[in-house]
Chain A
Amino acid sequence: MNINNITSQISNMPKVGADQNKIVGETSSFKDVLFKFTEDANKTDYDDKISNLSVLLGDAENTHQAMIAAEKADLALRLTIQIRNKIIDAYTEVMRMQI
């Protein structure tokens, strides 16, 4: 009974950095997380292209936003590539397993 009290207390403590939008009890699959990520990564590339067009159309508001958009797109691409590599590594590792 004591152990149950403690674990229930621990699970009821507010989680630091927990996603506020998640309904308690709902779990998102790896596929959902992956898809959301590729959506976000795609958006950074899109934002960068929009930023490029706004610069050459004379619509840019300042210079740092243009540079930041480029950097974010670069980071998102690198992250995507790394994730892809890791997924492939995990896949080949699993395929290598002897049943």
Chain B
Amino acid sequence: MGFLNSMNISGSALTAQRLRMDVIAENIANANTTRTATGQPYRRRLVLFGERNAKLPFSDYLSTAQSAVGKGVRVTQIIEDESPMKIMYDPSHPDCDENGYVRMPNVDTVKEMIDMMSATRSYEANVTAINAFKNMAMKSFDIGK
């Protein structure tokens, strides 16, 4: 449905931002996880965004106007944050090493909350875009009435 392209574009952003929010939520939930299934403390994860270029039918390459508009956004990768883990001194902690230091996840909860707000705002902007497009399409049905 080529005429619903605008909605596909905005929809792709909703999906991407939602995935970003899921990753942020996971970071927050695991901010204190010192031992995961691998035995290591939880390492912060983040998403990488990239432009979405769906496979176009050949006819779209010929029609320059179509190929000039992007196809939205997608999450290209979910990667682990390589920054160093936080070290905390707590000899009473079950996962501390022989010197009493515990390696904590490299999650900064405040930063994650700010990131979550940004994702939410982007999500809402795309919802507004969908509503605007819907308004346009519905109005065009009034031609001839």
Contacts and interface: CB of A to CB of B under 8 A. Distances in A.
Do A and B interact?
Answer: yes
Interface of A: 55, 58-64, 66-68, 70-71, 74
Interface string B131-145: 000001100110110
Contacts of A60: 1-3
Interface of B: 1-3, 66, 136-137, 140-141, 143-144
A71 B3 contact: no
Contacts of B143: 64, 67-68, 71
B2 A67 contact: no
Given A70-B144, A71-B144, A74-B144, A63 B2 contact: no
B141 A67 contact: yes
A66 B137 CA distance: 11
A70 B140 CA distance: 12
B15 to A, nearest CB: 21
13 contacts: A55-B3, A61-B3, A62-B3, A62-B140, A63-B3, A63-B137, A63-B141, A64-B143, A67-B140, A67-B143, A67-B144, A68-B143, A71-B144
The 6 closest A-B pairs by CB, nearest first: A67-B143, A64-B140, A71-B144, A63-B140, A60-B3, A63-B137
